[in-house]
Structure 1
Amino acid sequence: MNNNNNMKIFTQTWKPNSPSTHLLGLVAMIHGYASESSWIFQLTAVAIAKLGFHVCALDLPGHGFSDGPRGYITDINPLVTDCIQYFNTARLNFQEEHPDLPAFLYGESLGGAIAILVALKQKKEWRGLVLNGPMCSVSAKFKPMWPLEKFLPAAALVAPRWRVVLTKSLVEKSFKEEWKRELFRRSPRAGKSEHPPARTSLEMLRICKEIGRRSRELELPLLVVHGREDSVCDWEAAEKVVEMAGSKDKTLKVVDGMWHQMIGDTVDNVEFGFGLIFSWLKNRAQLER
């Protein structure tokens, strides 16, 4: 699709591959920073489709096959608008054929923050929100060391695209298993986004403050799964978002020993974490019937 700025935004969908699979609903997915809807992220999309969901996702601007400077985000709002534009079309097309089936939002890391902002703008459109290691606050272990953090606003103004180690390596801090770390880096579209530019880092911090301020406005069913050893996004900030959310149906699961990228963790944690997510989606979809 073309967004409001006439940028080409790559989109794709997955469906259950067996005609006998009972269709449960739609899941709209948003990937994290420096990721894309293909490569490793699509393993989750395929797994959710096999459960019986129609799944759709897009590459955020500056990521994957979409247009835009690689990993450079000065304002999150256009990205939120792109997600709403695509998901509205996907949801309407799906509900023309399946008007009684629910639609859910799913987001990882930065995609989790964007999913929260989408849900806040479309309070009546989604039947549930699943957040996997969401960026509700940047971990102190990932932030640039003092005094670089104090100089970040000035750096963002003077040299907004500067990537000189304002933060730790995102990939090194995200994937526990080394072979998965290297697999992620082998994506032909990975680019050089392990260290976000100064302007992007500043916008990430601003997004976290907005989410903290507006979390009471969340009213839809909510599941948050977070690694306790996540050194990119702070699980305690996610806990506060869940506590403050106005949702009557809300669950937080903090997984001991797990890092930031659930799919990059050990087999036991991968199976446990995604088992929680898959069970939640199936149970909430069945409750809607």
Structure 2
Amino acid sequence: MGDEAKIKYEEEFIVNSRGMRLFTCRWLPVNQEPKALIFICHGYAMECSVTMNSTANRLGKAGFGVYGMDYEGHGKSEGLQGFVNSFDDVIQDCSTHFTSICEKPEHKKKMRCLLGESMGGAVALLLHRKMPQYWDAAILAAPMCKIADEIRPNPVMINILTAISKIIPTWKLIPTKDIIDIAFKEPQVRDQIRENPLCYKGKPRLRTGYELFRVSSEIEQRLHEISLPFLVLHGEEDKVTDKSVSIELHRVASSSDKTIKLYPGMWHGLLYGEPPQNLEVVFKDIIHWLHTRCLHANARIERDLKHQHDDEQQQPVILQKLP
């Protein structure tokens, strides 16, 4: 295996604040400390244990600890399949679970990186907004900062669907193209997703669609607030999320460390939907970027250690009187 680390895969269920069982999983290097912690934020209608497995394995073999969670209504987690009642709940679930891992004593000195794909890119950016100083880096693969015009309903239809979603939120009424056909270039990947019962294949439910439009529109208006180091990746031929907004994100974000990679001829599914030779290019870029960030002194870790040291220095000294 050369320099590749062996990895072990583990999974378990946790219970969120609303009493729902959520599926979580992790891919960890065997017999070595992970170089950094990477937290997967999967895409809409997708899940972690199957569709993100190849991504996690690549990163695990490169020496990183990788953690994933299926959102409510996705994959093996509880909830009506394909239904997101509140994106805020998704963010809270991810934040609670991911930070509980980061706060373990053995992980205190590890770099914390979010990896968001498509809708998961929006999740990653909202996690950063929720705790701006907490996350050290983000990798954003075709992030949902704006839904592409090709699949977005017209404004009149959006207004109608928004009103109806308050009455019948779970109904599958949103007219869209078959996302699988236009997202993943490799026919065998499309077949695998269609055959995977953990992936939702129906039309978007009304409330879910409303939440996706709401969140992507909000993110698009606040790109300048993003301040963490990030790598944004986008296929030039993406017809699901808008590459021009990824370009705008790179231009206006306040981050001092920001990189963009645009891939000619590639589609939306950069992490597992492209031919093998294209995936090699994408993951070479991702892993190189991660290794470079790990080599540099991590500002957050240094800050935390300094605060810890300062707190220890400020502890009151109790002098015992001699008799």
- Please classify the TM superposition score into its range, dividing by the shorter chain length: over 0.9
> Residues 165 and 126 of structure 1: is their aligned pair in 2 closer, same or farther, counting only changes over 3 Å?
closer
Aligned amino acid, residue 226 of structure 2: L
Task: Map 1:96-115; keep pairs closer than 5 Å.
Answer: 96-115=105-124
Post-superposition CA distance 1:162-196 (Å, at most 9, x none): 32452111211211111110011211322434x21
1:267 partner amino acid:
P
1:200-251 C-alpha deviation (Å, 9 max, x unpaired) = 1121111012112222221110110011111110011121122121100001
Cα pair 1:174 1:261 within 8 Å, conserved: yes
Contact 1:143 1:168 (8 Å CA) reproduced: no
Distance across 1 between alignment mates of 2:155 and 2:222? 28
TM-score (norm 1): 0.93
Q: Does 1:248 align with 2:259?
A: no
Q: Could you tell me which residue of structure 2 aligns to residue 78 of structure 1?
A: 89
Distance 1:156 1:48 in 2: 39
- Change beyond 3 A, Cα 1:99–1:162: closer
| Structure number, greater radius of gyration | 2
- Percent identity reads 34
For residues 54-93 of structure 1, the aligned pairs below 5 Å read 54-93=65-104
Tell me which residue corresponds to 1:202. Answer: 210
Higher relative contact order (CA 8 A, sep 6+): 1
- Match for 2:274 among 262, 265, 276? 265
CA RMSD of aligned residues (A): 1.7
Equivalent AA in structure 1 for residue 63 of structure 2: G
Worse-superposed segment, 56-65 or 146-155: 146-155
> Which residue matches 2:26?
13
Instruction: Measure the CA separation in 2 of the matches of 1:145 and 1:69.
Output: 27
Listed one character per residue, the Cα deviations across residues 54-97 of structure 1 (whole Å, up to 9, x for unaligned) are 1111011001111111111132000000000000111112xx12
Out of 7, 17, 21, the residue aligned to residue 4 of structure 1 is 17
Following the alignment from structure 2 to structure 1, what is the Cα–Cα distance between the partners of residues 107 and 166? 48
Does residue 219 of structure 1 match 2:220?
no
The CA distance in 2 between the partners of 1:229 and 1:23, in whole Å, is 35
Matched, 1:152 2:165: no
Assess if the C-alpha contact under 8 Å between 1:104 and 1:128 holds in 2: yes
Question: 1:128 corresponds to which letter in structure 2?
Answer: A
Write the distance in 1 (CA, Å) between the matches of 2:227 and 2:38.
Answer: 18
Q: Which residue identity is paired with 1:248?
A: S
SS of alignment partner, residue 15 of structure 2: coil
- For 2:266 and 2:180, the matched residues in 1 are separated by 15
- TM-score normalised to the size of structure 2? 0.83
Equivalenced residue count is 284
Measured at CA, do residues 137 and 43 of structure 1 come closer, stay the same or move farther in structure 2, by a change above 3 Å?
same
Q: For 1:148 and 1:205, how far apart are their aligned partners in 2?
A: 12
Conserved 8 A contact 1:144-1:168:
no
Matched, 1:27 2:35: no
1:149/1:166 contact within 8 Å kept: no
Q: Distance in 2 between matches of 1:246 and 1:90?
A: 28
Moved beyond 4 Å, runs of 4+:
none
- Asked if the contact 1:134/1:238 (under 8 Å) is kept, the reply is yes
Q: Which residue of 1 aligns with 2:63?
A: 52
Structure 1: where are the runs of 5+ without partners? none
Report whether the alignment pairs 1:281 with 2:279. no
Alpha-carbon distance, 1:99 to partner = 3.3
Look up the equivalent residue of 1:122 and give its one-letter code.
M
